[in-house]
Amino acid sequence: MLQSSLLPENQMKNRMIGYLMVLVALSCWGLIGPLGRFGLNAGLEPMEVAFWRAAVGGLFFGIHAAVSGKWRIDIKRRIIFCLFGIPGVAVLFFVYQVGVKEAGASMTAILQYTAPIWVALWACLFFKEVITRIKALSIALSIGGAAMVCLSGGGLPQGASMLGLLAGLASGFLYSLHFLFAKKYLHDVSPVTLYMHILPVGALCMLPFIDFQIQTKPLIGVWLPTLALGFFTAWVGFLGYAEALKRLAVTQVAVTATLEPFVAAFFAFIWWDENFPALGWVGAALVVAAVIMSINPAGAHTDKS
């Protein structure tokens, strides 16, 4: 959170760093579906793919915390963080991979970006942020674009199943909780401390439900993409995202990060030949317009940052 004593140029620098961190996070998160499909297409269940993402990410955050000394925290917050790992990691990671399997990586990434609706609600209720008309329009455009992609049928040859659509929408709601949770605690808690708790707990919650198959799969075709899934999308992605939330209004982060589906769409097309029909790409263009409006200073100057 910016302090009022900062000079305008320092405010601008801090804001630009925040947007750079959003770009790091969304670039990593755009790989969730495309990397996850390596395991799913090889026969891994969505729960196992989700488990490895949480477990590998939690391992790196644990190492990071041990090296930096950022593992210490009072018992009350330790309990709160661990409990959040259930909906914020175990359920979220699982439903996302169900969406990737049933609706495709591109569509699931975009459906997750119904999250700005929820984020705007959380921001008003809990952080007293003002939703300007430009910001409201940018949110409406991003959601309208996501709806058009959904109506287009997505990028899978067989189309998206109802289960896949519901899983994508559920991931949007659960994803929005991260903005609320991180914004509440990251003003005085390191993101390393936060995620070293919630990721391992999420992995442990999934553990009893997995019949592990990865040990029978090839190193290059399955193991490496699955481990990369945890490294980039859980460790690097969440670090960048947390640093962005320290510097930007919560709704700015949420709407700017809607560029993530285009990273997902790019790699889903390159690796898995997923592609949208024309209606889907029109919807994608609306999301780009929403992002541009979100980072326009004319639409951001009234935000509490």
pLDDT in tens, 68-95: 988 889 999 999 999 999 999 999 999 9
Would you write out the chain's pLDDT as a tens digit for each of its 305 residues? 444 444 577 878 888 888 899 899 989 999 999 999 999 999 999 999 999 999 999 999 999 999 998 888 999 999 999 999 999 999 999 999 999 999 888 888 878 877 777 777 777 777 777 777 877 887 788 778 877 877 776 667 677 788 998 999 899 899 888 877 877 887 788 889 999 999 999 999 999 999 999 988 998 989 999 999 999 999 999 899 888 877 887 667 766 776 787 788 888 888 888 877 788 788 878 877 776 676 554 444 444 33
On whether residue 47 sits in a domain, the answer given is: yes
On whether residue 92 sits in a domain, the answer given is: yes
Q: Do the Cβ atoms of 230 and 203 come closer than 8 Å?
A: no
Q: Which two tokens stand for residue 259?
A: 């560029």
Residue 268 to residues 29, 202, 223, 240, 265, Cα–Cα distance (Å)? 13, 26, 19, 23, 5
Q: Which two tokens stand for residue 51?
A: 């488990």
On whether residue 152 sits in a domain, the answer given is: yes
Look at residue 205 in the predicted model and tell me its pLDDT. 97
Calculate ∠ Cα 145-148-153, nearest 5°. 135
On whether residue 3 sits in a domain, the answer given is: no
On whether residue 4 sits in a domain, the answer given is: no
In terms of residue numbers, what domain contains 162? Answer: 10-300
On whether residue 289 sits in a domain, the answer given is: yes
On whether residue 221 sits in a domain, the answer given is: yes
Q: How many domains does the chain have?
A: 1
* Nearest in space to 270 (alpha carbons), one of 31, 10, 103, 102: 31
Based on its alpha-carbon atoms, the radius of gyration of the chain, rounded to whole angstroms, reads 18
- Measured CA to CA, the distance from residue 289 to residue 145 in angstroms comes to 10
Residue 13 to residues 48, 129, 296, Cα–Cα distance (Å)? 41, 21, 15
What amino acid is encoded at 127 in this protein? Answer: F
Helix 133-151 and helix 278-295, axial crossing angle in degrees, nearest 10: 160
On whether residue 17 sits in a domain, the answer given is: yes
